[in-house]
Amino acid sequence: MRKAILVIMIMLAACSVFAGGSSEKKDGPVTITYYGRPDVELEREIIASFEAENPGIKVNYVELPSSSNDRLKTIQTVLQSQGTEMDVFAGDACWPAIFISAGWVEPLDDYITPEVRGGYIDTMLSAYTVNGRTYGLPFMADVCALYYRDDLLSKYGLTVPQTYDEILEYSKIIMEGEADPNLYGWGYIGVQNETLACCFLSIYWALGGPDMVNEDGEFTFDYGIAEKALELMRSYSFGEGISPAAIGSFDTTTLRNNVMAGNIVFDTDWLSGYAKYNGDSSSVKGSMKIAALPTNGAIGGWGLMVSAYSEHKEAAAKFALYRSSYESQMKALEMVDQVPTLNVFYDPETVPAGYEYLVDFLAPLSVARPRGITPFYAAISSRIQIEASAVICDMKTPAEAVKDLEAGINSVIG
Amino acid sequence: MKRRKEVRGYLLLAPAALLICVLILIPTIETIYCSFFNYRTQMAALGMKFIGLENYVKVFSDSFFWDTFWWTIVFTAVTVALELVIGMLLALLMTKKIPGQGLIRAVVLVPWAMPAIVAGIIWSQIFAYNGFINNLLSALPFVQENYPWLGNESSAKVAVMIADIWKNTPYMSLLLLSGLLTINKEYYEAATIDGAGRWRQFWSITVPLVRPTMMVTILFRIISAMRVYDLIVAMTNGGPGGSTTTVSMYAISTYFTYGNIGYGSALSVMLLLVSVVISLFFVDSLKSRVR
């Protein structure tokens, strides 16, 4: 018995020696830890070329989980414990406010030259900018855009709609003209998730809705306009019938399958829809064009941020700059179709060969608007998702939904 | 000698006790502790502010909490009851000596062995607008349009319950089977000689003898059904209109996604309290039977 205990104790001691070994510092290269998106091959290649260019820095890559919520949990857990084990990380465009207000991320203004700053599409950088300071460098762009059936618009002599009223009007003309019971005017992702909130916000902005929070940090969300936006969504499904009555059960796959089957004239979707709609399995290949949503579309995409608890901030910022450089973004475009954030990719003169379609992305990207630069965004958005879903699934009237929305949001920010 | 034996007993228990302390007890105590504070990641710089029972007062007046609470109770009651009935039928079938018995017992376990998130994705595709069920129904002459199964409150609720029953019945039936196999066959033989019918035998022999196993199984299932999370997240993400959001989903998003650690902890503690009350009731009823 004694022997057994002794063996266990020796094993425990051995474990602690190994665990402690890694924290001992030696002279030599600085090692930074990067929590990156799980595009393993791409990230490893970028890291290898970064390390080749910067022999003094080693990058330890930690894969983030596959779902966005789990990624936030992972990053938040490290930052909350003020952990030094994460130096630089990839973050969603709607998270910076959470980290900035908590003081968890480092401003990067000292590390970026005006040329570097000017290279980014303004709107993409705006998601990471609070009170004039930049806390992140976007490396992957995204925005909610308006897709349209170019063939049908030209058939009826219509132009790209500039307002939601025009979407309604043109949809009716085309639906009447085509007389196809499977054809709908306007589609979007209606299941209760973040994209539904983005779609709602685009309508809210188009109806004149102000930002959620103004420059002084006051909450300025307009519930009256929110109600009008919900009314619009509801009437397009139930009164006017240009959206399917079942839109509330449309997830990304369902929406995209219906667009690809040629059942939808206009639709609100992220940039990633473009390749699907114009892919080989799509019956509308070549005629599904992209434009800016009326007024504004919600910003998406990912950027790099440096932890305030990092012990190697300079090296971390250097890596962030490299990961968002032209070279890395080109690699990301080639390997995993990541949409770049630099102006140079969208200029007809400088767009890389084979990626000419990117030029059409510039219009939606230049009207991209941050969803809400408030640390409470995640909670507010989840309330919007619930109420918008309730309205388009015919569970509540817009007036009831807005009442619940206000109560819900007040309980979150109060 | 006796003392030495006791010491050895404690020593052998120590690793498990330590594990339970580190992995369960400490986080539970910390959650209860946090629930008395106003603590948000958005205001991490301000630290934690003690507010007593304020979070709990807020829980009681939070109408969304009550929506999620009653839905969790209904979900648990319906799924566990149906899992018990179907599980018992399956278990009784599996006691029959038929060719391929081992294979059947193994195959039945597949849904249970599948990660809940995968099961959720499969079922969301089955119930999707262009999914399997709508495709099947569209073959019927009187069905004109696809039905939004997951876009309607009642059908979405039924859909997630069906998915849960599909996933967890095997667990129930396998545990019940283990209970059934311990019953001595002589009881049935004696009952048959006495002229008792099948139905009578089931209620007078099978049910009382399998009861301890059954109670434990039901308890396990109730506790895990009350914590249901990934299956529903994958199927409906709590929609439509928040109607399939369970207490644990609400607590987890409040704690992690909204960064409201104090209130999220209070919501978790509420769920814990309900689970503890139910467990105590079951443990108590087990004890009285054993006596």
Question: What is the SS3 assignment for B118-140?
Answer: HHHHHHHHHCCCCCHHHHHHCCC
Average pLDDT value for residue range A267-286: 94
Under an 8 A CB cutoff, do A98 and B63 touch? Answer: no
Mean pLDDT throughout A305-310? 96
Across the interface, of B8, B11, B41, the residue whose CB is closest to A76 is: B41
The verdict on A245 touching B (C-beta cutoff 8 Å) is yes
**What are A3's two structure tokens?**
């022997």
Q: Please report the pLDDT score of residue B144 as a whole number.
A: 80
Taking CB atoms and an 8 Å limit, are A387 and B241 in contact across chains? Answer: yes
Q: Which pLDDT score, from 0 to 100, does residue B64 have?
A: 92
How large is the average pLDDT for residues B87-114? 87
For residues A279-306, average pLDDT? 95
Confidence of residue A14 (pLDDT cuts 50, 70, 90): very low
Q: What is the pLDDT of residue A224?
A: 97
Alpha helices by DSSP H, A109-193 = 114-119, 122-126, 150-155, 164-178
Q: Predicted confidence band at A28 (pLDDT cuts at 50, 70, 90)?
A: low
pLDDT band, residue A25 (cuts 50/70/90): very low
Work out the number of other CB atoms within 10 angstroms of the CB of residue A50. Answer: 21
Q: In this predicted model, what pLDDT tens digit does every residue of A183-213 receive, in sequence order? A: 999 999 999 999 999 999 999 999 999 999 8
Q: Residue B239 — pLDDT band, cuts 50, 70, 90?
A: confident
Residue A302: is its pLDDT beyond 90? yes
Burial pattern B179-195, b for ≥16 Cβ within 10 A else e, equals bbeeeeeeebeebeeee
Q: pLDDT tens for residues B176-197?
A: 999 999 998 899 999 999 988 8
Q: Tell me whether residues B237 and A191 touch, CB distance under 8 A.
A: yes
Residues 6 or more apart whose CB falls under 8 angstroms from that of B232 comprise: B120, B160, B238, B244, B245, B246, B249
The mean pLDDT value for A60-86 works out to 89
- In this predicted structure, the answer to whether residue A351 has a pLDDT above a threshold of 80 is yes
Q: Is the dihedral of CA A229, A234, A237, A239 positive or negative?
A: negative
Sort out which chain A residues have CB atoms less than 8 A from B257's CB and list them.
69, 72-73, 378-379, 382
pLDDT digits (tens, 9 = 90+) for B109-120: 899 999 999 999
Which SS3 state, helix, strand or coil, does residue A190 take?
Answer: coil
Residue B68's pLDDT is 95
Q: Taking a C-beta distance cutoff of 8 angstroms, is the pair B147, B155 a contact?
A: yes
* Distance from C-alpha of A56 to C-alpha of A120, rounded to nearest angstrom: 28
The chain-wide mean pLDDT, for chain B, equals 90
Determine which helix (DSSP H) or strand (DSSP E) holds A134, and give its type and residue range.
strand A133-134
User: In this complex, which of A250, A253, A379 lies closest to B258 when CB atoms are compared?
Assistant: A379
Q: Which two tokens stand for residue B13?
A: 């228990």
Give residue-wise pLDDT tens across range B205-226.
999 999 989 998 999 999 999 9
Instruction: Report chain A residues whose CB lies below 8 A from the CB of B129.
Output: 246, 249-250, 254
Cα–Cα separations (whole angstroms), residue B187 to B2, B96, B196, B209: 41, 17, 11, 11
What domains, with CATH codes, occur in chain A?
Answer: 29-142+300-358 (3.40.190.10), 143-298+370-413 (3.40.190.10)
Residue with the two structure tokens 């630290």: B47
List the one residue out of B170, B167, B162 whose CA is nearest residue B117.
B167
By CB atoms closer than 10 A (0-12, 13-18, 19+), residue B261 is buried
User: What does the pLDDT read at residue B80?
Assistant: 96
Backbone CA torsion sign across B7, B13, B19, B20: negative
Q: What pLDDT is recorded for position B289?
A: 57
SS3 A302: strand
- B-chain residues near A386 (CB < 8 A): 238-239, 241-242, 245
Q: What is the mean pLDDT of residues A143-164?
A: 96
Beta strands in chain B (DSSP E): 37-38, 49-50
C-alpha–C-alpha distance, residues A266 and A170, integer Å: 10
Contact criterion met (CB below 8 Å) for A120 and A248: no
Predicted local confidence at residue B172, as pLDDT = 93
Q: How far apart are alpha carbons A414 and B260 in whole angstroms?
A: 11
The pLDDT of residue B137 is above 80: yes
The pLDDT value recorded for residue A18 is 42
pLDDT at A21 over 50: no
- How would you classify the pairing of strands A88-92 and A297-306? antiparallel
Asked if A264 contacts A238 with a C-beta cutoff of 8 angstroms, the reply is: no
The pLDDT tens digits for A227-243 are 999 999 999 999 999 99
- Residue matched to tokens 């667990």: B171
Q: Strand ranges (DSSP E) for A286-412?
A: 288-291, 297-306, 368-369
User: What is the average pLDDT across A79-85?
Assistant: 89
Helix (H) or strand (E) holding A319: helix A313-323
For chain B, list residues whose CB is within 8 angstroms of any CB belonging to chain A: 8, 11, 41-45, 58, 62-64, 124-125, 128-130, 145-153, 236-243, 245, 253-254, 256-260
Range B236-245 average pLDDT: 93
**What residues does A92 pair with on adjacent strands?**
A302
Judge whether B236 and B124 are in contact, CB under 8 Å: yes
Q: What is the pLDDT of residue B196?
A: 87
The secondary structure of chain A in percent helix, strand, coil, rounded to multiples of 5, reads 50, 15, 35
Read off the amino acid at residue B233.
V
The predicted model gives B103-111 an average pLDDT of: 86
B45 vs B81, higher pLDDT: B81
Closest-CA distance, A86 to chain B, in angstroms, reads: 18
Q: What is the CATH number of domain B38-290?
A: 1.10.3720.10
pLDDT band (50, 70, 90) for residue A167: very high
From the number of C-beta atoms within 10 Å of its C-beta (0-12, 13-18, 19+), residue A85 rates as: middle
Q: Is A140 helix (H, G, I), strand (E, B) or coil?
A: strand
Nearest-by-Cβ selection for A249 from B11, B45, B150: B150
- Flag if B130 and A248 touch (Cβ within 8 Å): no
Least Cα separation, residue B42 to chain A (angstroms):
5
- Tens digit of pLDDT for each residue in A372-385? 988 889 899 999 99
Find chain B residues with C-beta within 8 A of A373's C-beta.
Answer: none
Give the residue extent of every domain in chain B: 38-290
CA distances (Å), origin A297, targets A123, A130, A201, A208 = 11, 19, 8, 13
Chain A residues touching residue B43 (CB < 8 angstroms): 101-102
pLDDT tens readout for residues B251-286: 999 998 888 899 999 999 999 999 999 888 888 877
- pLDDT at position A11, please? 47
Are A103 and A325 in contact by the 8 Å Cβ rule? The answer is: no
Query: Which residues in chain A touch residue B266, judged by CB atoms under 8 angstroms apart?
Result: none
| Position B3 pLDDT exceeds 70 | yes
When pLDDT is cut at 50, 70 and 90, the band that residue A15 belongs to is very low
Q: What does the pLDDT average to over A249-264? A: 95
Most confident range (mean pLDDT) of A4-13, A334-343, B33-42, B91-100 is: A334-343
| pLDDT, chain A, mean | 91
Mean pLDDT of A35-60: 95
Chain A residues with CB-CB distance to B242 below 8 A: 192, 386, 389-390
